[in-house]
Structure 1
C-alpha cells in the first residue's frame, strides 16, 4: 500500500454512523495527514435539496473528535479541484459506490493531471444516513398513530 503525505475525504456526515467511521479509518491508513471536508448546510441544500438533520457545527465537532482526523474543513463547493488548490493533497478518498460514475471519472482525470490519486474505499453495506432518517421518520410516524 502506497502511503501518501496528505489525504482528503469529504462527506455530509449527517447522522454519523459506522460507514462514515470506516471511510475515515481506511483513509487514514493510506496517509500521514488526513483532512476531512464536511459539507456545509448550504451546500447540502443546493445539491440534495434537503437540510441535514444535524447542523454543520455539530457535525464538524463530531468529526474533529475522531482520533484519525488531523484537520476538519468546511466543504463549500463540490469542485474537488478547488479543494486541491487550497489543500494540495496527494490523494482523495471516496466510497467505491461512486467508482465508475461519470462525475468521478472526470474528477479523477483532473486530479491525476496534478499528481493527485483517487482511491476508492469499500462502501459499508447495510447502513446510510438516508436509511437512518427513513427509519426514524417511520418510528415517529408510527408513534403519532
Structure 2
C-alpha cells in the first residue's frame, strides 16, 4: 500500500533528463495517483530563462512517462491554487528547495489543510542548466570555426 493517495509535483521539464525521471519515479512510488504540473512558457521566466522545448511538447513528453497519471499546465506559482484545482495529499519537490523561506512557509500553509510536503533527493550531475551550458559551449566552438 502506498503512503499517499494523490501526489502533485511541478516543473518546467525542459530538455527532459534523468533527474526529471528520478523525481517522477520516486514520487509515484509513494502515491497511487500522480499529477504533474508542467510550467507554461510564459512562467518559465521565473528561472530567468526561456524554455528550449515548447510547452505543448513538454506536456506531451511528461504525459508519456509511465509514472505520471495526469498532466496539467502550471500557469502560476501559487501552489494553493493548484491544490484547490487538483486536490492532493502530498506535494513532491526536489531536496534542493528544502529549508528555503518559500518552502518553509508552504510547509506551514499546507499543514493547515492536511497536505504533506515531501522532499525528494536532487539528482546531482545533471540538470537543464548544465545541459544548456554544454549546448552554449558547443555552439560557441562551432561559431569560432
TM range (shorter): over 0.9
The answer to whether the 8 Å contact 2:37/2:73 transfers is yes
Distance 1:128 1:51 in 2: 15
Relative to the length of structure 1, the TM-score reads: 0.96
Distance 2:105 2:15 in 1: 29
Root mean square deviation, CA, Å: 1.1
Structure 1 residue runs of 5 or longer lacking an equivalent are none
Q: How many residues align?
A: 144
| Map of 1:43 onto structure 2 | 43
Distance 1:113 1:84 in 2: 13
Name segments (4+ residues, structure 1) moved above 2 Å: none
The answer to whether the 8 Å contact 2:2/2:29 transfers is no
| Map of 1:30 onto structure 2 | 30
How do 1:3-14 residues align onto structure 2 when only pairs under 5 Å count?
Answer: 3-14=3-14
| Map of 2:122 onto structure 1 | 123
Relative to the length of structure 2, the TM-score reads: 0.96
| Map of 1:15 onto structure 2 | 15
Deviation by residue 1:48-107 (Cα, 9 ceiling, x = unmatched): 232100000010100000011000000011111110111110000001011000000011
The answer to whether the 8 Å contact 2:13/2:58 transfers is yes
Distance 2:90 2:128 in 1: 25
Distance 2:33 2:43 in 1: 25
